[in-house]
Amino acid sequence: MKRITWTALLVALMGGVGYVMAVQALTPAIQRLYKNDPTVIYAPSHFADARQYVLICMQGYNVPGGPPGYPPLPTLASSRLSWMPVYPLLQCALHKFGGVSLIFAGPVLAIGAMLCALFFAVLTLHNLGVPHPAISALAVLIPSVGAVWIYLPGPEASFLAVGMIALWLITLPAPAHPAQAAVRYALCLPLGVLYVLLKPNALMMFFALCFAFVYVSWQNSRRVGYTFGLWTFAADLLLAQVRPRMVRLQSARPICYAWTPLIIAAGTILGFAFWLAYCSVLSGVPFYFLNLQYNYWAHIYSAGNVREIIQFFAQAFQPSDPTNGWQRDAAWALAAYLVALLPATSKRVPSLIRVMIVLMVGTLVVSGVARYAVDRYLASTAIVAIGWACWLAPAAARKRYAVMRWLFALALFGVTWVLLVDYLMPLGEPTFWHLHLDSNHVPW
């Protein structure tokens, strides 16, 4: 086994221990939210969406009916079909075959997923040529806004792990033999399907993955003699598909394809199409899954038009009004976006990662999934984690600055952790999180 693999294993184990300690530290704060509810034994697996995944494992998916005579449109009613199937399936498997209680199946899965994410983060950073990948990979554990979400039982940690595997595959050097490439490509389609069936947010990676296909292919082609720039390569790539002979004749422009990102992107589309069809057939409602998101969860998904998005974020700058929840949400979401975009501004971060971050964040904003829970979406995205890891990595000449960057990241992590756990979550939205809150608690 290569030395970097052993290093990755060691980092995963050490980081895993740190992760478990952080979970332990977080648990009492979540448990406090349920102090009036004796039926909740271990609050983290009951909190927010975590309970829904367990209930899917126990009860299956439901398609809501309605009172006799007056059935509401299923699009307007809650259905667990909003939650993707892979994570509850994993919980069920762990419970049935591993004998783990469903109360703790989520945390066990999250710990396993974080070990996996750390392991592949080291390998990905190594592939990217980042110095000291073992230390930088620990940045995966400290996404700065909304970090708490990856410590809670939910699909976030698993989503991060699968995203990290995808990034590792994308950044792997081109194989020496086409048969090896074929084996790698064969893994990519199911990986893409798995990715989107963990969280539909994988779709936000579509354009980033398409860009990665062009960029990595360009890099590979340059190694075999391609001399032109990225835009020319993109044009050549397009021509090679529609007029293959035209490019083949030009021996000065050899194209070496890196299909991995494109196949993963295709897998995400295929997985999403499958889930959309499955939900629609089950409910009888065309595009049921999308209808659920845009009707029942309408407060999360906006139309995504620029005017609305600007209006939303502008609320963050209004004079402080403690009764305005939207204002708080806007400030928090804006901070999450800015923190995610920070690595994209640095030259220390490889161009591939920088552009992928911008494309992913841009897709998130334009699609309308920009208003709520965006901290979770960003915290669990491997591309953001790797971006931060690259940004924190020490440059050869200025190692002192790396320490300062780490201190900055840890300070952000600490402040937002306290804000989220001690202020936002208890204040929260009780109807959304289904908490029994103390009505006298006025934290602002």
Q: Rule CB under 8 A: which residues touch other proteins?
A: 39-42, 45-46, 51, 54-55, 58-59, 62-71, 74, 80, 95, 101-103, 177-179, 181-182, 185, 189, 241, 256-257, 259, 262-263, 266-267, 269-270, 272-274, 276-277, 279-289, 434
4 vs 234, beta carbon nearer other proteins: 234
Least separation in angstroms between residue 278's CB and other proteins is 8
4 vs 240, beta carbon nearer other proteins: 240
51 vs 348, beta carbon nearer other proteins: 51
103 vs 234, beta carbon nearer other proteins: 103
Least separation in angstroms between residue 234's CB and other proteins is 17
Least separation in angstroms between residue 92's CB and other proteins is 12
320 vs 431, beta carbon nearer other proteins: 431
53 vs 215, beta carbon nearer other proteins: 53
Least separation in angstroms between residue 426's CB and other proteins is 20
Least separation in angstroms between residue 274's CB and other proteins is 6
108 vs 181, beta carbon nearer other proteins: 181
Least separation in angstroms between residue 17's CB and other proteins is 26
Q: Which of 176, 347, 187, 206 is nearest to 273 (CA)?
A: 206
142 vs 285, beta carbon nearer other proteins: 285
Least separation in angstroms between residue 225's CB and other proteins is 14
Least separation in angstroms between residue 40's CB and other proteins is 6
Burial state string for 333-352 with b = 16 or more CB within 10 A and e = fewer than 16? bbbbbebbbbbbeeebbbeb
